[in-house]
Chains A and B, each alone.
Chain A
Amino acid sequence: GAGVSQSPSNKVTEKGKDVELRCDPISGHTALYWYRQSLGQGLEFLIYFQGNSAPDKSGLPSDRFSAERTGGSVSTLTIQRTQQEDSAVYLCASSSKRGGADTQYFGPGTRLTVL
């Protein structure tokens, strides 16, 4: 079946511009996560959606970052007024709701470069 997809795969932007990154989770998965992978920093949690509950935004690094999830499916991560330190690979993952920590399935990522 189809896995998690993300678009675009690569995005180059100029400092100060806004960008939108898209994630299509696996159909039926109720939980959706955004992570950031920076060189030397490993994987850093950004934001998490679970069903219709309010998202957990505790990992967002600044108020320039926001995300929404429409209809419990597709999610968009928006970065406003991009800075060079925002350059990273942005990963999306999804999982199904069950008891215990279920496996998260990752998309291929969007590589963001801010010039």
Chain B
Amino acid sequence: GNSVTQMEGPVTLSEEAFLTINCTYTATGYPSLFWYVQYPGEGLQLLLKATKADDKGSNKGFEATYRKETTSFHLEKGSVQVSDSAVYFCALGNSGNTPLVFGKGTRLSVIA
């Protein structure tokens, strides 16, 4: 079955540091891949997505590239801010609006 594995946190970085959160997946067919973010006290929000191999999703300075050859969708940001402190979830979805399969989440804390 489908599954998502993402690096365990927590991750603590200083402001302006480079961020990578690893995400790999196992899936049948050609899934779409997502990163969702959950800020403290708030609900899940879509951060970015990619629907096919080699697509790059980007938003708010974050990027992730859909790599079919390595079954990965790593999240990166060149310079994190304190306001990026949140829990980040990698997720996978197949076509036809089926339920998403989520990783366990990675908590990021950015300190000034």
Contact = CB atoms under 8 A, between A and B. Distances in A.
Interface of A: 30-31, 33, 35, 40-43, 45, 48, 50, 56, 59, 91, 93, 95, 97-109
B108 to A, nearest CB: 16
Nearest to A46: B99
B45 to A, nearest CB: 7
Contacts of A43: 44, 89, 91, 100, 102, 105
Given A43-B89, A100-B32, A101-B96, 5 more contacts: A56-B99, A91-B43, A101-B93, A106-B43, A107-B43
Contacts of A30: 97
B43 A100 contact: no
A41 B97 contact: no
Contacts of B98: 48, 56, 101
A98 B36 CA distance: 20
Interface size band for B = 20 to 34
Contacts of B100: 33, 43, 45, 101, 104
Nearest to B41: A108
Question: Which of B32, B45, B99 has its CB near the most chain A CB atoms (within 10 A)?
Answer: B99
B88 to A, nearest CB: 12
Interface of B: 31-32, 34, 36, 42-46, 49, 51, 89, 91, 93-105
A1 to B, nearest CB: 15
28 contacts: A30-B97, A42-B102, A42-B104, A43-B91, A43-B100, A43-B102, A43-B105, A45-B100, A45-B101, A48-B99, A91-B43, A93-B44, A95-B97, A97-B97, A100-B51, A100-B95, A101-B31, A101-B96, A101-B98, A102-B97, A103-B49, A104-B93, A105-B46, A106-B44, A107-B43, A108-B42, A108-B43, A109-B43
A66 B50 CA distance: 33
A31 B104 CA distance: 23
A106 B103 contact: no
Contacts of A48: 98-99
A107 B89 CA distance: 16
